[in-house]
Structure 1
Amino acid sequence: MTVDLFEKFDATLNNFRQLPEGESNPFTVSMEKILSPTEAIINGRKTILAGTNNYMGMTFNEEAVAAAQDALLTQGTGTTGSRVLNGTYNSHKALEEELKKFYGTEHAMVFSTGYQANLGIIATLAGPKDYILIDADSHASIYDGCAMGNATVIRFAHNDPENLDKRLTRLRKSDPEAGVLVVVEGVYSMLGDQAPLKELAAVSKKHNAYILVDEAHSIGVFGATGRGVAQAQGVEDQIDFIVGTFSKSVGTIGGYCVSNHPKFEVLRLVCRPYMFTASLPPSVVASATKALQIIANTNLREKLLANSMRLNKGLAKIGFNMGTTGESPIAAIIVPDMHQAIAFWGEMIKEGVYVNLALPPATPNNYNLMRCSLSAAHTNEQIDYMLEKFELVGRKLGILSDKALETV
């Protein structure tokens, strides 16, 4: 008898079949027409986008769009090759130069996605004889990079330098000469909390370990010129590798790693996710280059964080159990039950607000989350409309108690 290779997915399939059909299913939603960084037509109605990670609103930036259009007309739709073959154009090198200028580093390496950047750098740096210590709440791309490299993986408690110190102390007693890489994120995507990079970097250096920071959700958002949490906390000189993505604040797709390590360039010859995938299309490269230049010289960060505080404080005042504080562009409501969370998402989309539904095991502490990610392009009126609909749906589903509402 042939074993069904899909049998291991039966539980997931059964859960999917229990979801509501039609427009209330969060996993089949489609953007029919994008109107702006903050609005789209979904299910035939105008909908506010409150879950796109378009932090700087760069997807419709006129200069970035014009740069992409020009590259499309002059260089074509794609490279049809990897960076180590025919897929390196002058524009790819120019983008890497822009990254080096943006971060003030000696080296920069561009990947076709942010996922591949983590996958490639982590798997290549730490092999079977090495150790990786990762924050327990790390992104899937970090876990997959660890698995691909076959290093020994040790998890430490989320945002806990003391716990990291204990684990590194134990490791160094058993294997004092081992190669060690500590991997953390600047901002964690589900709840938007920042890493205490100053303390984590100090612990890493104390134990002679390299440290890599994934700034995917913090580039453009934090720091004097938008370089992320490491810049904001004044510890860039203590960080060995910074990984990031173009798919959030930069408004397109792609990933990168920057570093000052003198041997960094050898990674181009040994990093499989870099070597064996097609390079980014010229239009994407051009828009990313232009967006980085804009982000470095913009004051949109203040508007973005003001928007986030408005939404976070508003939701907390209404009476929701918040998983976020407003110190990042993310606002997340903790919903007690998975079925309530799914129903919540469905009611919000009917009310013209698109948010992210985040469920275990992809969430910290197995939370069921209604997760918003705001943009500097959102208006106060749009945020107030979101708050109105969140309260309406929260009351309808019985998530907000009458007592909580009376205190608003």
Structure 2
Amino acid sequence: MSEGVTQADQPTVREGESRDLFSKFDETIKVRETLLASGVEDPFSLVMEKVLSPTRAICNGRDTILLGTYNYMGMTFDPDVIEAGKQALEDYGAGTTGSRVLNGTYQGHKECEEALKEFYAMDHAMVFSTGYQANLGIISTIAGKGDYIVLDIDSHASIWDGCSMGKAEIVPFKHNDIEAMEKRLKRIPEGAGILVVLEGVYSMLGDIAPLKEMVAVAKKYGAMVLVDEAHSMGFIGEHGRGVCEQAGCIDNVDFIIGTFSKSVGTVGGFCVSNHPKFEIMRLVCRPYVFTASLPPSVVATAATSIRKLMHGSNKRAHLWENSKRLHGGLTEMGFQLGTAEPQSAIVAVIMPDLERGAAMWEALLKEGLYVNLARPPATPANMTLLRCSLCAEHSEEEVETILGMFERAGKAVGII
């Protein structure tokens, strides 16, 4: 996709008139209109008419297998989780109508933070209204003007926005390149505050970061380290604490950011830390202070889910088997995947271009399979992807059915 509208493309502005503020989106509008004019259903406006389970929903009147929901551990329909939400809704009402620093801290918010501290075996936990706000708030508050943030070029939008909001010097490095990261750190002036921001699993390709080596390099230069484990919490690591745990470097990470909208199965975000001064963040972090807190029913479902994930080893093992089977099956068919080996619950199928990617997406939907169509600028290297996110509740039979759907759709569209 084009980087944007060139100067020549801008409409003429007459004296006394202002430029249309939407003109900056003209290229994106054009791409979308061209795509829809080809007869393809809009892949970004799908409606789920009824959700039947963590792995199935009614889409366009058809029973559809869900392979693009980030519902990694299948907790959305867990009976205990649902019951906790119902009880909190009945006991505390629909919402708090206030910030955490005013009237918006209920017993459930404290219990949710206690569950997080227990899950990660850390001293402090802070719950935000979304995972996006967690990154926005923590990064912008910790690293400000005069500080430096060294981050992977493929970092999530919420990380980039947190960097911009804090007005720190932003120093990106090539994706998962340890040597490039160290070169950037060497150039930072001595005595400057440094925050290194990494992700455990990168959501587009499903690849993991070499965290053990990267954290060691960051500490060599005196940097603090923040790791976003949104796509690995609950699934990766012996206790589901993420890639940090799997890599054996969790004790050297200063902040772990996560979300409730993936493995936990609801909505919200969080940060856990062992830093002795961390609690001051509740008074100085603007995206925490100046927004309403999560509804009681949401934190009740989150706390219940987190505590159940502590004992989710069987689910984790089954999810790994699902990932290996899907990755292996698609590779055998001739699809180009984002990673040579399965590294997470995300399997990214690389498409030749947006048009054929959209055609493949639609062909799969007609087969009864929903996946995510991802396109630039969200994807690295201008790739178009069909992003598959597996669930621990997908049965072996469902995975085999999914493989059959991919084979038929891939041949029909000419991808394989």
TM-score by length of structure 2 reads 0.94
1:23 shift after superposition = 7.5
- What does residue 149 of structure 1 align with? 166
Q: Does 1:176 align with 2:193?
A: no
- What does residue 3 of structure 2 align with? none
1:17 shift after superposition = 1.5
Mapped contact 1:81–1:87 kept (Cα < 8 A): yes
Q: Does 1:211 align with 2:228?
A: no
User: Which of 265, 268, 274 is equivalent to 1:254?
Assistant: 268
Q: Does 1:289 align with 2:303?
A: yes
Mapped contact 1:23–1:43 kept (Cα < 8 A): no
CA distance in 2, matches of 1:20, 1:41: 23
Matching of residues 159-170 of structure 1 within 5 Å: 159-170=176-187
SS of the equivalent of 2:36 reads coil
Instruction: Provide the aligned length of Structure 1 versus Structure 2.
Output: 397
- What does residue 245 of structure 2 align with? 231
1:336-359 deviation per Cα after TM superposition (whole angstroms, max 9, x unaligned) = 111100111111111110000011
- What does residue 398 of structure 2 align with? 382
Name the amino acid aligned to 2:398. Q
- What does residue 135 of structure 1 align with? 152
SS of the equivalent of 2:35 reads coil
Mapped contact 2:40–2:359 kept (Cα < 8 A): no
User: Which of 297, 319, 323 is equivalent to 2:338?
Assistant: 323
- What does residue 112 of structure 2 align with? 95
CA distance in 2, matches of 1:203, 1:234: 15
1:81-134 deviation per Cα after TM superposition (whole angstroms, max 9, x unaligned) = 010111001110111111111111111100000000000000000001100001
Q: Does 1:9 align with 2:7?
A: no
CA distance in 2, matches of 1:159, 1:144: 20
SS of the equivalent of 1:323 reads coil
1:327 shift after superposition = 2.1
User: Which of 5, 26, 49 is equivalent to 1:32?
Assistant: 49
CA distance in 1, matches of 2:90, 2:107: 16
CA distance in 2, matches of 1:2, 1:142: 33
- What does residue 354 of structure 1 align with? 370
- What does residue 81 of structure 1 align with? 98
CA distance in 2, matches of 1:396, 1:122: 46
CA distance in 2, matches of 1:129, 1:42: 50
Mapped contact 1:24–1:345 kept (Cα < 8 A): no
SS of the equivalent of 1:24 reads coil
1:241-296 deviation per Cα after TM superposition (whole angstroms, max 9, x unaligned) = 00000000000000000001111111111101001111000000000000001101
Q: Does 1:116 align with 2:170?
A: no
TM-score by length of structure 1 reads 0.96
1:20 shift after superposition = 2.6
Mapped contact 2:40–2:358 kept (Cα < 8 A): no
- What does residue 305 of structure 1 align with? 320
1:233 shift after superposition = 1.1
Name the amino acid aligned to 2:342. G
1:59 shift after superposition = 0.2
Mapped contact 1:243–1:257 kept (Cα < 8 A): yes
